A and B are shown apart, each in its own frame.
Chain A
Amino acid sequence: MGKILMKGNEAIGEAGIRAGCLNYFAYPITPQSEVAEYLSHRMPEVGGVFLQGESEVAVGYMIFGAAACGERVFTTSSSPGISLMSEAISYIAGAQCPAVFVNIMRGGPGLGGILPSQADYFQATKGGGHGDYRLLVMAPASVQEAVEMVMMAFPLAEKYRNPVMILGDGLIGQMMEPVEFPENLKSEPSKKDDWATNGMDTRKSKKRNLVKSLFLDPVKLNENNLILKEKYERMKREEVRFEPYNTDSDYRILIVSYGTMSRVCRTAIDNLKAEGIDVGMIRPQTLFPFPEDAVFQAASKKSCGMALSIEMSMGQMVEDVERCVHGKCPVKWYGKCGGEVPTPEEIMDVVRSNLS
């Protein structure tokens, strides 16, 4: 099948279906509303369920309910909506259910604005909801990559019985690019009989399954947290994804950037190379687990005198970059938010000013 031109939001919706997910519950919010619009007519075509909740709070628990029953399920929203869902996300993680959340970020805090932003990095990677839980967070830099990450997200959520989040920004949702839906990323839903409340008749079992996040006995709650921790440690070993760029050169500055912002940086790096200035980049594709070792190795290169975290936020990922660079070189942040996307020219100026 040839490539088709699709808007990011519509492609994300279609990717969910191609991944074998037939349950989508959501509430519209700019800049992700086209996912819901698209799936409102597409889901019935394939025999799936499209359901618009009365609020994001309700949607979060609808997702929990379907996931607890062993169904593949996903939702999409944008920053304020994800805040409202965060309570349910914590419950889903605590109860060890698989589900996929897509956040097409807009500027905050509060209602903020509707233009692209990366200001939910902390929310996605460090918590959002309460308690000791993590999300597996993937950050696409193109519509094609958004499709692939959505398709990968379902089996990963099932592998870990944990929510997976796709963290895109408004541009990923709004722009159109040619896409294809790789056949090899289609997956069969995993067997869930040993934990899901999918009905004792259907699984011909005498064992009752119980899905819950309440453990009043402190020993049991500690045990549950240890199980979760083991899963997050396993993610760190098995799921780290990143893309290096121009790291074979003797770069004096290392950029760490993700999503749309990393594409702007790539253009800046190409232009600077033409001027004789080498800059390397690590683009994290997973934000949790963060590519700790890759950033450390890249910052440890002899030629490298500085690491720059470039983000559409007031400095969030920079804390992970600092942690991973481990003092090998100075770490600085550059960014803008509120919907302002720094241009390649601005990034070039930042690099030049840090070299002189």
Chain B
Amino acid sequence: MQSEVMFAGFGGQGILFSAKILAHAAMEQGYEVVWIPSYGPEMRGGTAYCMVVISDRPIGSPIVRNPQHLVAMNRPSLEKFAPVVKPGGVIMINSSLVQIGSGRKDVDELRVPVTDIANEIGSVKAANIVALGAFAARSMMVDFEILTESVKAEFAGKAKLIPLNMKALERGRQAASG
């Protein structure tokens, strides 16, 4: 059983980092994992995207044309990747910045104002973790408890940010189930 998620947004939104936390959690859960960044000549404010593939057996192709899920943090990402998501997958949209929908009837579309929520709890920088919480709760791609531990582990070097990110993760989860 293999599943994939594409995280996409502006450079600087923490796309690669939130994808890494998900990959970390999947590894802790015992899955095979590949994390593949886009590494074109990109810069802050440009596009950034990152694929995480998890599987219960060795992962063949790290390149996946049709991911199961998508986390779209801005409009260009949604427009670019929504059409290639597999039917039945989750498309999580940052509704703070994206007014349009995916236009797909065969997916589970989840709209969460992750940028607004992050601002509300104290830092716009935590929007990626709000999105991670919402996506993980809805897709159940990884165990949420393990994900929580992985967020703590990834922030171990900046421990003072852990409470904020715990709140961000939880608010994401609530938004996904609300």
Interface residues, chain A, with chain B CB atoms under 8 Å away: 3, 5, 30-31, 114-115, 170-171, 174-178, 260, 263-264, 266-268, 270, 341, 343-345
Contacts and interface: CB of A to CB of B under 8 A. Distances in A.
Interface stretch (B59-67, B89-97, B117-125, B168-176): B59-67
B34 A343 contact: no
B153 to A, nearest CB: 10
B60 A343 contact: no
A341 B39 CA distance: 14
Interface of B: 20, 23-24, 27, 32-37, 39-41, 59-63, 65
5 contacts: A5-B35, A175-B34, A268-B61, A341-B63, A343-B63
Given A264-B61, A341-B63, A175 B36 contact: yes
Contact of A263 (B24, B33, B59): B59
Given A3-B27, A176-B20, A270 B60 contact: yes
Nearest to B63: A341
A5 B39 contact: no
B35 A177 contact: yes
A30 B34 CA distance: 20
B39 A174 contact: yes
B60 A264 contact: yes
Given A5-B23, A268-B61, 12 more contacts: A5-B24, A31-B39, A114-B39, A115-B39, A170-B39, A171-B36, A174-B37, A175-B36, A263-B59, A263-B62, A264-B60, A264-B61
B18 to A, nearest CB: 13
Contacts of B37: 174-175
A166 B24 CA distance: 27
A284 to B, nearest CB: 17
Nearest to A271: B60
